[in-house]
Structures are given as structure tokens and as C-alpha cells.
Structure 1
């Protein structure tokens, strides 16, 4: 369990929000769906989805109390009665045939074992209910992650990473199709999609790392975290310099999945 800074995430998650908006366009909503958003974070995307559910509703869940607190403050139920937020771990779904559509963006890769999550998703879906999820896929952020691995092996940092293993669940299409089938979900589309994440200069890059690289930074004393991030950012920019507009680009890979609870 990582300690998220919800307000900092809100500032540094523009790429995730952009990709989520692209995902929303693929939903083909009729406006009456009952939906579940897994790992809703600050609630911005959940709120946007709610505006498309004139006769429906959506529940956003996240294991971070700070994220849910910020979501409730930013998007109060009094203004969007069809929108609710709840502190809940998406690894512990206990709903029974409640949702027409389950959505998730940039969340499931924080967990390595997706097979149990998919079984919980199936149980939570109505018959013929659908899922539309996107997360980091195989090869996601490889160049900057390789640099991070190199730096963790340096004498200055190595002691903090003695028992460290790769923390993210970045998977390919084959294993995901297998997990879907085992969970009783019928795959409609499973694909890896290349994306470019843009950050505003070196400070934008470091802010993103400070916000979401918690498996790395939270192993290090607080007073050394900035130095660790600086070292990675400098090394990355040596190989991938800013463009003429001062933007930093990071190659990413997303795993996008559509499936149906076919009974």
C-alpha cells in the first residue's frame, strides 16, 4: 500500500486523463448504465463519465483515502447525484451482478495478480455486462525504467533496494486473453497500444516521477528522494533531450481490454 499525494497527482496526471478521455469515446453509452470505475483516483474522469449517464449512475472506488476525500470535495454528490465515491480496494470486489459496465484507466497495473481481479469483475457484472479497461502494458516506460534500475544498483542507492522486485503488472495480450477466459469473460478486443507521454520540461518529468513512482521513492528517506529523482531525470534527458518547445517525451505502452460477461 502506497501513500498517495492526491493533490500532486491531480497536477501531474494530464497524460492519464487524456488517455481516459480517449477511452470514454469507445464506450458507446446509451446513458442508462450503472457503472463502476476501478481505481478512480481524484475522480475527474469518473465525474466526466457521469455527465454521459443521464439516467444511469457511476461509483468510483479507490483504496486511497486521500484520493477519495479529494474526489468527494471536488465533485460533491449534491451537484452530481448520479456520482458516488467510496474507499475500496479493487482487489476485494464483493458485488453481485450489479453493473452494466466496469471501467478502469491507469490503475490495474499497480497489482501483479490480475486473475483474481478479473474474477471479481465477472461476479460484479450483470449478464452481458462489459468491461473497458486500460493500463500499462508490456514494455511500458521501458527506457526510463531501465535507467531507474541501473541507478538503483549504484552503491549510493543499492542498500534501499536489496529486496526490490519489479513492482508493476505490465502484461502482453496472450496472458490477458488467458486470464479473461479463466475468469469466464469473453474477450472482444485485447491490444497493446503505443503512446507518448508528454511532460513540461525537466520539472514536469520530475513531478510525474515524484507523484507516481511510489514503489521506488517510498523506499528512500524523504530527504534523499529529490536527489534520486534528479539523477534519473538527468540521465533520461541525456538520451532523450527536450524538444524545441521544452517538452519531454516518454514512450509508453498501454494494454487496452474490452470483454463481455457472456453467459
Structure 2
């Protein structure tokens, strides 16, 4: 499939995030992030940089784990950063702040003990540049911890999406399909990390199964996550478009007896130390 072969990313500047909608329909991303937070060997006085902080939930969780430290959450979306500041900064001002900053520019934010990133890597156009920037802002011995989408993630959803955009009802908005998010083989990540000055501890694609409680929750995830496609369609038709993608998916992968929807996913896990 093209989504697996084409490593170029072009999500362009038109993508606009709705923080409230994302906060309500990002249980999968939050679940992955909680697992990653739990893996961090924090003493409580570290300086932590959260790249792609989104609505700030995980960033606030990190701040609570470093009561004597500092956590900086950065995101390229002004809407997400404004929401994170408004919702999560209260009571944590001395150890938590949020900034609008692209992933490739984090090298100028100061020195950190940990660079953390969850569910963001595939959105970054220049991933090798991100690793170089992370190395620039990490102290020697500092750790890079990343969970992202691995190549082949949610393939059945991708197939349902492509069936939908090719249908006569929707094809007018997809004369040229947007280039997908960037996915690479594990060996490529190992090379990039080493070239950026990291000692590689773990690079692995892990098979995951994620269950949405019902069809509405699954539709919410499609609406708030697959923005390069959903935002191609006029706003007044987006719910119908999302519904068509969901219907196409359920025709091949029916909901369970309890109404839940299961999606096979692949998670990329990176752990490295700054040499």
C-alpha cells in the first residue's frame, strides 16, 4: 500500500487541531503515553522536554513526577498550547510551562535531562533533524524516550479510508491524495540516532491491539486523528465522511458483541542516551 511505501510526509499547514475534541477522543494516545511515562526512571528533580505535548495531559503528569524539576511541553499547534496552558498550568507554574515550538527547533530551548515524545514522530517532516535537535538540548547521559506509530500501523483503517476517498461521493475532494505521515524501518531509526550522537538502547516495532468502547468512540478517534484527510472535506460534510470511513471499516472488521471496535496497531518504541 502507498501508506507503507511512501516515506514522504506532507501534512501541510492547513491542519488545525480542536483541543476539546482531541481531549475527548484520544484515549489510545493517552494510554500509550501513560505507559511511556511509567517507563521513565525519574528521581524527581529532572528537566524534561515533552515534544508534541498536544492538550498537555501527559506533560502535566510528567510535572507531577518531578516536583523539584521542570517540564516544558512544546507543540507546533497554537491551539493545543493555549488549551494546555489554560487547563494544566494552574498549581504547577513553578515546574511546568508550554511553548509553541516545532520539533526541529527544540535545540534552542536549553538543556534537559530527558526528551519525551508520544504519538508525534510520524507528524514530523524531518525526523533525522528532530533527533539532531534532541541531541542538542540533552545533557551528556540524558535520555530520549519516544513512542510513535510504526510502519503498517492501523492498516485496516487505512484500507477503509482509501476505499472511502475513492468512492464517487468523496473523490472530488481527493483528486490528489495528501502524502502520508512518515514511517521508516527500524534500521533507519538506528542509523539516524547514531548519527545524531545517541547510543541506541531500543528500537522496536511492537504489535498492539486497541479496543474502542463503541462505534462512537472509534468515529471520534478518526475525526480527531486523521486530519490530513478529514479536513479535506467541507466542514458541513465531515461527520458524513467519517461515518463512511467507519462503515467501510466495520464491513471488514465488525464490532464485537459488546459493541466495541478493535483495531490492530503497531507502535514504534525508541530509547536512546546522549553520548
Q: TM-score of the superposition, structure 2-length normalised?
A: 0.91
Instruction: Point out the more displaced range, 133-142 or 197-206.
Output: 197-206
1:254 offset after TM fit, Å?
A: 0.8
- Kindly tell me the number of residue pairs found equivalent between the two proteins: 262
State the SS of the aligned residue for 1:94: helix
Mark the runs of 5 or more structure 2 residues left unpaired by the alignment: 1-12
Instruction: Please list, as runs of the form range in 1=range in 2, the aligned pairs for 1:1-150 lying within 5 A after superposition.
Output: 1=13, 2-95=15-108, 98-150=111-163
Give yes or no for contact 1:171–1:255 (8 Å, CA) kept in 2.
no
State the SS of the aligned residue for 1:156: coil
The correspondence for 1:247, drawn from 253, 260, 263, is 260
Instruction: Point out the more displaced range, 117-126 or 147-156.
Output: 147-156
The correspondence for 1:183, drawn from 196, 207, 214, is 196
Give yes or no for contact 1:77–1:84 (8 Å, CA) kept in 2.
no
1:20 offset after TM fit, Å?
A: 0.8
1:77 offset after TM fit, Å?
A: 4.5
1:172 offset after TM fit, Å?
A: 2.4
Question: What CA distance in whole angstroms lies between the structure 1 residues aligned with 2:112 and 2:187?
Answer: 26
Question: What CA distance in whole angstroms lies between the structure 2 residues aligned with 1:215 and 1:150?
Answer: 16
Give yes or no for contact 1:193–1:254 (8 Å, CA) kept in 2.
yes
1:40 offset after TM fit, Å?
A: 0.4
Question: What CA distance in whole angstroms lies between the structure 2 residues aligned with 1:190 and 1:23?
Answer: 14
1:181 offset after TM fit, Å?
A: 1.6
Partner of 2:173: 160
The correspondence for 1:197, drawn from 210, 217, 220, is 210
Q: Do the aligned partners of residues 96 and 225 (structure 1) sit closer, same or farther apart at CA in structure 2, a change above 3 Å counting?
A: closer
1:97 offset after TM fit, Å?
A: 5.9
Q: What do the CA deviations read for 1:40-75 (whole angstroms, capped 9, x no partner)? A: 011111111111102211100011111111111111
State the SS of the aligned residue for 1:101: strand
Instruction: Please report the RMSD computed on the Cα atoms of aligned residues, expressed in angstroms.
Output: 1.5
Instruction: Point out the more displaced range, 131-140 or 198-207.
Output: 198-207
Mark the runs of 5 or more structure 1 residues left unpaired by the alignment: none
1:111 offset after TM fit, Å?
A: 2.1
Q: TM-score of the superposition, structure 1-length normalised?
A: 0.95
Question: What CA distance in whole angstroms lies between the structure 2 residues aligned with 1:144 and 1:93?
Answer: 32
Work out whether 1:237 is the aligned partner of 2:250: yes
State the SS of the aligned residue for 1:190: strand
